[in-house]
């Protein structure tokens, strides 16, 4: 069979994880890193080969790419439902294979330099392998349950990697926070899956078969009032989908479940690049894209929830990003904002205008735009994070105040960072321009209000990214700090990934037509720029960059200081992330702990525990009292035996 080798894509990182996890302690750092990197290199080659073979296969008669399942075996059959493990190849999973393997490989190479000499080097590579395996398993899942299993595995490996510097209190705290918040959201995901499985009778992503079963599940209602039947039967799928979306919103850090992502920056910077910028955090977007046929067909009205959450998060995160001083936090909030762009883009897809057609490239332009932005964002955001890693590596601090004027010392980092900033700001011909432009076009199709808001957020993006850029590479140089040790350019293992990712960022917007790979209906979609929107957004982005240049480029920044003085409260609130963490603290500590946990603890202690104590006491006592039966005398045993048999006979005869 053609794709018979694909199981290796999942198996190799798993093996690498097991080898490094079990025997890594005994290896030298170099050997451990090489094992991880080489196995990942092999996975990358296989992924590229798979994706290229897949995208070059002949299209079906209706112009779509075939969906291929190289293998799918049943792990646990449960009556009509079953838990399967398999491998699904379709346009988005093939695209994700490329994204994950590329970024992961770059991070593996980069970590050679960045993590050099760290304690627990082999543990780090083991966890990276585990993460890569889980993430790949997530995107190639053939059913929602497999997706959920790998989803949780991804969460675990993220937890392990955020807490990598476990002697640090902040890292432990952040890893716990990330895990608990995402687990809380995943609870809804699981409930959604169970509702879906219960009513639809299948976990599979092959939705063509499910339509029939959906009709059956609606059938009992049809016996009564037809209108009520549609209402009741029709709400089951949307409910399940919205619950699953909450899970996705947790992973993808949508408001108000975003609070874990900024703290997750306590992990090593390459990890932030891989997990908290390029791959894991887009799992929520991927989940919606995966279930897209269901959303558009059965829950088109509920998609507005996705839009509202996305629009608000995009704006909210961008506003916070403007006031942060820790460079990784700025990038974290920028990530939240950009993922919200992808969410909005999926949400603004409209049902098809043509009768009988469900999936329509034009009405659902947002689907393609979202996936496109996912791809480009993964590349330039990974590059930005890795660049931030180089800078932190050089100045040993995350704070912008410790930086400034670094362009002289780190030319490669400077150039790649600048190009990636241009990409995220949406300046042509960099990739971000093309994908963001498609998103904004899709938003205008949906409603001009959303379109204008998103354009505004895009302008904010350009502004805060260049605020960051000038803060790091221009501005006042921290002479005292730099006198102690001069910042220097990172080794080639760290700069090579930057250059590679930048090259992708420069070319992938115009060199290929993304619409021919991924589109809502699966047919080729020619991307054509809407000149009006393209020009408007470019001009706005340039204006924002100009504004940022004006305010932040100089050695002294009088305007910025004047602004802080003018709006001290607003700045403080944005700096404190609008007190969302404090709100959570209030709700959990002051309300939940006091009014729910304490009474429950009392019941547990006094009533439940009292009952258990009583059981234990009575068990002990009765054990003591029947001890004498076993006296070691064979005659007594025979008497008991016979008495027992006779007594049992009598009991049976009596009833």
Partner 1 sequence: MNYSQFLYMVPEATLVAILIIAFIADFASSKTAERKWFNPLMCVMLLVQTVVTFFCGEPAEAFGGMYVATTAANVMKVILAAGTLIVVIQSRNWMSRPDTAFKEGEFYMLVVSTLLGMNMMMSAGHFLMFFLGLEMASVPMACLVALDKYRHHSAEAAAKFILTATFSSGVMLYGISFLYGSTGALYFDDFTAALNNGFSTLTIIGLVFFVAGLGFKISLVPFHFWTADTYQGAPTTVTGYLSVISKGAAAFTLCTLLMKVFQPMAAEWEMLMYILIVASITVGNLMAIRQSDLKRFMAFSSISQAGYIMLAVVGVGNPAIAAYGVTALSYYVLIYVVANMAVFTVISAVEENNNGTTAMSSYDGLYKTNPKLAFLMTLALFSLAGIPPFAGMFSKFFVFMAACQQGSVAAYVVVFIALINTVISLYYYLLIVKAMYINNDSEPLPTFKSDCNTRLALALCTLGVALFGVCSCFYEWIFAAA
Query: In angstroms, rounded to a whole number, what is the distance separating the alpha carbons of residues 14 and 132?
Result: 9
The residue among 559 and 642 lying less far from partner 1, judged by its C-beta, is 642
For the bound state, the minimum distance from the C-beta of residue 23 to partner 1, rounded and expressed in Å, comes to: 17
Q: Does 652 bind partner 1 (CB under 8 A)?
A: yes
Tokens of 583: 């709100």
Q: Does 25 bind partner 1 (CB under 8 A)?
A: no
Q: Does 355 bind partner 1 (CB under 8 A)?
A: no
- CA distances to 311, 372, 535, 537, 547 from 462, rounded to whole Å, are 17, 19, 15, 11, 10
Q: Does 651 bind partner 1 (CB under 8 A)?
A: yes
For the purposes of burial, counting CB atoms within 10 Å of the CB of 459, is it exposed (0-12), middle (13-18) or buried (19 or more)?
buried
The residue among 52 and 647 lying less far from partner 1, judged by its C-beta, is 647
The residue among 543 and 645 lying less far from partner 1, judged by its C-beta, is 645
Q: Does 38 bind partner 1 (CB under 8 A)?
A: no
Q: Does 447 bind partner 1 (CB under 8 A)?
A: no
For the purposes of burial, counting CB atoms within 10 Å of the CB of 554, is it exposed (0-12), middle (13-18) or buried (19 or more)?
middle
The residues in 171-210 that bind partner 1, with binding defined as CB under 8 A, are: none
The residue among 38 and 648 lying less far from partner 1, judged by its C-beta, is 648
For the bound state, the minimum distance from the C-beta of residue 151 to partner 1, rounded and expressed in Å, comes to: 19
For the bound state, the minimum distance from the C-beta of residue 620 to partner 1, rounded and expressed in Å, comes to: 7
Query: In angstroms, rounded to a whole number, what is the distance separating the alpha carbons of residues 56 and 63?
Result: 13
Tokens of 204: 């599979």
Helix, coil or strand: residue 16: helix
Tokens of 415: 């150039």
Residue appearing with tokens 């080798």 = 5
Residue from 38, 76, 231, 608 in contact with partner 1 (CB under 8 A): 76
What dihedral angle (degrees, nearest 10) is formed by the CA atoms of 336, 501, 398, 471? Answer: -90
For the bound state, the minimum distance from the C-beta of residue 616 to partner 1, rounded and expressed in Å, comes to: 7
Residue from 567, 595, 617, 637 in contact with partner 1 (CB under 8 A): 637
Q: Does 58 bind partner 1 (CB under 8 A)?
A: no
For the bound state, the minimum distance from the C-beta of residue 638 to partner 1, rounded and expressed in Å, comes to: 5
The residue among 507 and 630 lying less far from partner 1, judged by its C-beta, is 630
Q: Show the beta-strand stretches assigned E in 380-481.
A: none
Q: Taking the CB of residue 128, how many other CB atoms lie within 10 A of it?
A: 31
For the bound state, the minimum distance from the C-beta of residue 615 to partner 1, rounded and expressed in Å, comes to: 8
For the bound state, the minimum distance from the C-beta of residue 629 to partner 1, rounded and expressed in Å, comes to: 8
CA angle 327, 329, 334 (to 5 degrees): 100
Q: Does 655 bind partner 1 (CB under 8 A)?
A: yes
Residue from 5, 38, 63, 75 in contact with partner 1 (CB under 8 A): 75
Tokens of 15: 């093996």
Query: In angstroms, rounded to a whole number, what is the distance separating the alpha carbons of residues 112 and 26?
Result: 18
The residue among 215 and 645 lying less far from partner 1, judged by its C-beta, is 645
For the bound state, the minimum distance from the C-beta of residue 632 to partner 1, rounded and expressed in Å, comes to: 6
Tokens of 447: 């409603």
For the bound state, the minimum distance from the C-beta of residue 644 to partner 1, rounded and expressed in Å, comes to: 3
For the bound state, the minimum distance from the C-beta of residue 640 to partner 1, rounded and expressed in Å, comes to: 5
Residue from 483, 566, 623, 628 in contact with partner 1 (CB under 8 A): 623
Helix, coil or strand: residue 654: helix
Kindly indicate which of the ranges 41-49, 509-517, 547-555, 628-636 contains the residues binding partner 1, using the contact rule CB under 8 A: 628-636
Whether residue 171 contacts residue 164, with contact meaning beta carbons closer than 8 Å, is answered with yes
Helix (H) or strand (E) holding 71: strand 68-78
The residue among 212 and 654 lying less far from partner 1, judged by its C-beta, is 654
Residue from 300, 568, 610, 644 in contact with partner 1 (CB under 8 A): 644
The residue among 355 and 655 lying less far from partner 1, judged by its C-beta, is 655
Kindly indicate which of the ranges 200-208, 235-243, 471-479, 644-652 contains the residues binding partner 1, using the contact rule CB under 8 A: 644-652
The residues in 472-531 that bind partner 1, with binding defined as CB under 8 A, are: none
Scored b (16 or more CB within 10 A) or e, 229-248 reads: beeebeebbbbbbbbbbbbb
What binding mask, one character per residue, do residues 562-601 give for partner 1 by CB under 8 A, x or -? ----------------------------------------
Query: In angstroms, rounded to a whole number, what is the distance separating the alpha carbons of residues 310 and 288?
Result: 13
For the bound state, the minimum distance from the C-beta of residue 4 to partner 1, rounded and expressed in Å, comes to: 22
How many residues does the structure list for the chain?
655
Helix residue ranges, H only, 508-608 = 531-552, 558-566, 568-575, 580-585, 598-603
Calculate Rg over the CA atoms of the chain: 29
Q: Does 226 bind partner 1 (CB under 8 A)?
A: no
Q: Does 638 bind partner 1 (CB under 8 A)?
A: yes
The residue among 561 and 613 lying less far from partner 1, judged by its C-beta, is 613
The residue among 220 and 644 lying less far from partner 1, judged by its C-beta, is 644
Q: Does 636 bind partner 1 (CB under 8 A)?
A: yes
* Count of residues of this chain found to bind partner 1 when the rule CB under 8 A is applied: 31
Q: Determine the straight-line distance between the first and last CA of the chain, rounded to whole angstroms.
A: 66
The residue among 73 and 480 lying less far from partner 1, judged by its C-beta, is 73
Q: Taking the CB of residue 453, how many other CB atoms lie within 10 A of it?
A: 17
The residue among 355 and 652 lying less far from partner 1, judged by its C-beta, is 652
Residue appearing with tokens 């910042």 = 487
The residues in 602-621 that bind partner 1, with binding defined as CB under 8 A, are: 615-616, 619-620
Query: In angstroms, rounded to a whole number, what is the distance separating the alpha carbons of residues 536 and 538?
Result: 6
Residue from 492, 595, 602, 640 in contact with partner 1 (CB under 8 A): 640
Q: Does 632 bind partner 1 (CB under 8 A)?
A: yes
Query: In angstroms, rounded to a whole number, what is the distance separating the alpha carbons of residues 646 and 474?
Result: 98
Residue from 79, 117, 624, 628 in contact with partner 1 (CB under 8 A): 624
The residue among 75 and 586 lying less far from partner 1, judged by its C-beta, is 75
Query: In angstroms, rounded to a whole number, what is the distance separating the alpha carbons of residues 451 and 445?
Result: 8
Whether residue 55 contacts residue 92, with contact meaning beta carbons closer than 8 Å, is answered with no
Scored b (16 or more CB within 10 A) or e, 346-381 reads: bbbbbbbeeeeeebbbebbbbbbbbbbbbbbbbbbb
The residues in 258-277 that bind partner 1, with binding defined as CB under 8 A, are: none
Q: Does 22 bind partner 1 (CB under 8 A)?
A: no
The residue among 77 and 546 lying less far from partner 1, judged by its C-beta, is 77
- Interaction site with partner 1 (CB under 8 A): 75-77, 615-616, 619-620, 622-624, 626-627, 629-630, 632, 634, 636-638, 640-645, 648-649, 651-653, 655
């Amino acid at each position: 069979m053609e794709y018979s080798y694909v199981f290796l894509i999942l198996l190799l990182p798993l093996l690498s994880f097991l080898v490094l996890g079990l025997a890594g302690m005994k290896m030298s750092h170099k050997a451990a890193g090489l094992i991880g990197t080489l196995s990942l290199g092999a996975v990358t080659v296989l992924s590229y080969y798979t994706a290229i073979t897949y995208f070059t296969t002949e299209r079906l008669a209706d112009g779509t790419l075939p969906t291929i399942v190289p293998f799918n075996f049943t792990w646990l059959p449960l009556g009509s439902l079953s838990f399967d493990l398999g491998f699904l190849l379709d346009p988005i999973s093939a695209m994700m294979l490329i994204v994950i393997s590329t970024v992961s490989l770059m991070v593996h190479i980069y970590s050679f330099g960045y993590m050099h000499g760290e304690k627990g080097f082999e543990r780090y590579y083991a966890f990276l392998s585990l993460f890569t395996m889980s993430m790949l398993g997530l995107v190639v899942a053939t059913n929602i349950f497999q997706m959920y299993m790998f989803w949780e595995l991804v969460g675990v490996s993220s937890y392990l990697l955020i807490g990598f510097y476990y002697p640090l209190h902040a890292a432990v705290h952040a890893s716990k926070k990330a895990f608990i918040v995402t687990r809380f959201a995943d609870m809804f995901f699981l409930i959604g899956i169970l509702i879906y499985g219960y009513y639809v009778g299948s976990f599979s992503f092959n939705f063509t078969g499910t339509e029939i079963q959906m009709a059956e599940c609606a059938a009992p209602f049809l016996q009564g009032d037809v209108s009520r039947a549609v209402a009741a039967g029709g709400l089951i799928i949307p409910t399940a989908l919205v619950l699953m979306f909450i899970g996705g919103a947790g992973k993808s850090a949508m408001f108000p479940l975003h609070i874990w992502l900024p703290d997750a920056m306590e992990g090593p910077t390459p990890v932030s690049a891989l997990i908290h910028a390029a791959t894991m955090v887009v799992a929520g977007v991927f989940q919606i894209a995966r279930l897209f046929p269901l959303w558009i067909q059965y829950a088109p009205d509920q998609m507005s929830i996705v839009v509202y959450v996305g629009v608000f998060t995009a704006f909210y995160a961008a506003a916070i990003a403007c006031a942060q001083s820790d460079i990784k936090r700025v990038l974290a909030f920028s990530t939240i904002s950009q993922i919200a762009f992808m969410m909005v883009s999926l949400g603004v897809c409209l049902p098809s205008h043509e009768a009988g057609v469900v999936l329509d490239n034009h009405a659902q332009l947002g689907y393609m735009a979202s996936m496109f932005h996912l791809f480009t964002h993964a590349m330039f955001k990974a590059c930005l994070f890795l660049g931030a890693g180089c800078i932190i590596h050089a100045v040993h601090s995350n704070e912008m105040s410790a930086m400034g004027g670094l362009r002289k010392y780190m030319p490669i980092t400077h150039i790649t960072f600048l190009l990636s900033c241009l990409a995220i700001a949406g300046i042509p011909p960099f990739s971000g321009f093309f994908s963001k432009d498609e998103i904004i076009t899709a938003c205008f199709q949906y409603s001009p209000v959303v379109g204008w808001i998103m354009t505004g957020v895009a302008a904010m993006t350009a502004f805060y990214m260049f605020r960051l850029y000038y803060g790091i590479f221009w501005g006042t140089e921290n002479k005292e700090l730099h006198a102690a040790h001069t910042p220097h350019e990172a080794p080639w293992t760290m700069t090579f990934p930057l250059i590679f990712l930048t090259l992708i960022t420069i070319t992938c917007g115009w060199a290929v037509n993304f619409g021919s790979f991924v589109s809502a209906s699966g047919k080729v979609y020619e991307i054509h720029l809407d000149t009006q929107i393209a020009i408007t957004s470019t001009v706005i982005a340039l204006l924002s960059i100009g504004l940022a240049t004006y305010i932040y480029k100089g050695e002294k920044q009088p305007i910025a200081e004047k602004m802080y003085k003018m709006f001290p409260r607003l700045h403080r609130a944005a700096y404190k992330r609008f007190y969302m963490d404090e709100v959570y603290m209030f709700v959990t500590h002051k309300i939940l702990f006091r009014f729910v946990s304490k009474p429950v603890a009392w019941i547990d202690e006094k009533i439940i525990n009292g009952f258990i104590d009583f059981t234990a006491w009575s068990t002990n006592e009765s054990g003591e009292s029947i001890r004498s039966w076993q006296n070691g005398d064979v005659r007594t045993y025979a008497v008991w035996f016979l008495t027992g048999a006779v007594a049992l006979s009598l009991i049976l005869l009596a009833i």
